[in-house]
Structure 1
Amino acid sequence: MTVQDDGATGEPGRIIRVGMVDDHRAPVWGIERILERQDDLSLVASGTTVTELLEQTTDLDVVILDLRLGDGTTPRENVARLAERGIGTVVYTSGEHPDLLRSAARAGTLGVVLKSADEEEIVGAVRAGGLGQESLTTEWAAAIDGDPNLDAVELSPQLQRVLALYASGGTSISVGHELGVSPDTVNEYLKRIRQKYADAGRPTRTKLDLFKRAVEDGWLPMPERPRPE
């Protein structure tokens, strides 16, 4: 089921220009087959990363975005990067990573649709996204509503960088060197970050806690699962 405006329509004769980012070809081929039957939707470019897609064109209305990409980018930064160019996003996912869904939602994605959804639902989500309208599935809503750590913590760009660098294994000294500030300043930033999370009921007593919060809020990508040998 999709929660959206079923009466979503565009200007007569308007073609919604669609891009797609997925590092596997099969989903792209599937979307090509679905959209080629729609008079108002055109898949004009695809790439394995947002960077690769934007190198081809920025003249897009909406991008169908896979949540987990091999380049290590987060859904949050990809959605935000496209939004800066006036391009909406529809997340296309198998749905097994609620943390990544929350990351994309907090960045302002216009839609979430499962890869197992039927053709009508996929087309409806893409069309709504291309018109700047939200289309959020009940699966997405359940992932958000069931999150015990729902309260997101908003950090300034500088605090985001400190958290990402430190939680990835950096020290106060190395983070300070990277950002051009003193270790004492980094420690002060870390105190602010910990306080913000404490105020939101999401304590960060250890460095591992900081890493978990950075992943939950989209400042760091979810770590890769080890592949079975």
Structure 2
Amino acid sequence: MRGPAVARVITVAVVDDDRMLLDGLRVWLEEVPGVVLAATACTVDGLLGARGAGPVPYDVVLLDLVLADGSRPPDNIRRVRAAGPRVLVISTVADRRRIVAAIAAGADGYLTKDHDLPALVEAVEEVAGGGTVHSPELAFAWAHDDGPARPRLSPKERQVLLEYASGLTLKATARRAGVSPHTAKYYLDRVKEKYQQAGRPT
């Protein structure tokens, strides 16, 4: 006879040079069952330490897009992903090119810092489960990307992007596009895959 299922605990690390944010997240996440804040650091070097390229024991790293040490966001994302964890970028920055470059480098989602705790926890759970966190800011960056390396999108992918980028919920976006919410998310996931394929070295 099998015993009751054990709830999975998600281990989270945060890389951010905003001390108030780090302290706030520490207090916030203490109250969240199933999510443990295992480490904080001001730089990716500080998080990965002397481990070199070895794996780290975190499921998700919340990574600030722009750090004061002058490190490049795509490099930071690639280094963290190479160490094992999935990456959720959190930022106040709304620069479209930086957002696009972050996803192309392997980030699993982009969330602005003005979201509340339930939205952050939902995003962490989505990323830890292998999913992608889509936000209107990310959709807007993709929809208005004019970079030379932008991938070719299908008409339906572009329609879903534009609707979602306008601030509609996923459900309302799906209704406008004449598809189910599941299919709308699939289109957004496809766009992410295309950007990550375009961002990989050939």
The bucket for the TM-score relative to the shorter chain is 0.5 to 0.7
Structure 1, unaligned runs of 5 or more: 1-10, 154-216, 218-229
Partner residue, 1:39: 33
- In our comparison, the structure showing a higher alpha carbon Rg is 1
Note the 1:102-113 alignment, pairs <5 A: 102-113=100-111
The alignment partner of 1:128 has SS state of helix
2:21 alignment partner, one of 21, 27, 45: 27
2:49 equivalent to 1:55 = yes
CA shift digits 1:10-35 (9 cap, x unpaired): x7322111000001111112222221
2:128 equivalent to 1:130 = yes
Aligned counterparts of 2:28 and 2:148: Cα–Cα separation in 1? 35
Aligned counterparts of 1:120 and 1:23: Cα–Cα separation in 2? 23
2:118 equivalent to 1:120 = yes
Partner residue, 1:101: 99
Partner residue, 1:15: 9
Q: Which has the higher contact order (CA 8 A, sep 6+)?
A: 1
Are the aligned partners of 1:144 and 1:150 in contact in 2 as well (CA < 8 Å)? no
Which moved further from structure 2: 123-132 or 62-71?
123-132
CA shift digits 1:196-224 (9 cap, x unpaired): xxxxxxxxxxxxxxxxxxxxx8xxxxxxx
Partner residue, 1:92: 90
The alignment partner of 1:71 has SS state of coil
How much has 1:94 moved relative to structure 2? 1.2
Could you state the TM-score of these two structures normalised by the residue count of structure 1? 0.58
Residue 56 to residue 127, structure 1, CA distance change in 2 (3 Å)? farther
Are the aligned partners of 1:20 and 1:45 in contact in 2 as well (CA < 8 Å)? yes
The alignment partner of 1:135 has SS state of coil
Aligned counterparts of 1:61 and 1:133: Cα–Cα separation in 2? 13
How much has 1:150 moved relative to structure 2? 5.9
Aligned counterparts of 1:31 and 1:90: Cα–Cα separation in 2? 14
Note the 1:203-218 alignment, pairs <5 A: none
Aligned counterparts of 1:91 and 1:150: Cα–Cα separation in 2? 23
Are the aligned partners of 2:123 and 2:133 in contact in 1 as well (CA < 8 Å)? yes
CA shift digits 1:84-120 (9 cap, x unpaired): 1221110111133222211111012111111001221
Structure 2, unaligned runs of 5 or more: 152-198
Note the 1:181-196 alignment, pairs <5 A: none
Structure 1 letter corresponding to 2:9: I
The Cα RMSD (Å) is 2.0
Partner residue, 1:78: 76
Partner residue, 1:143: 141
Identity %: 31
Aligned counterparts of 1:42 and 1:79: Cα–Cα separation in 2? 21
Aligned counterparts of 2:50 and 2:20: Cα–Cα separation in 1? 20
Are the aligned partners of 1:113 and 1:121 in contact in 2 as well (CA < 8 Å)? no
The alignment partner of 1:44 has SS state of strand
Moved over 4 A (4+): none
Aligned counterparts of 2:149 and 2:46: Cα–Cα separation in 1? 33
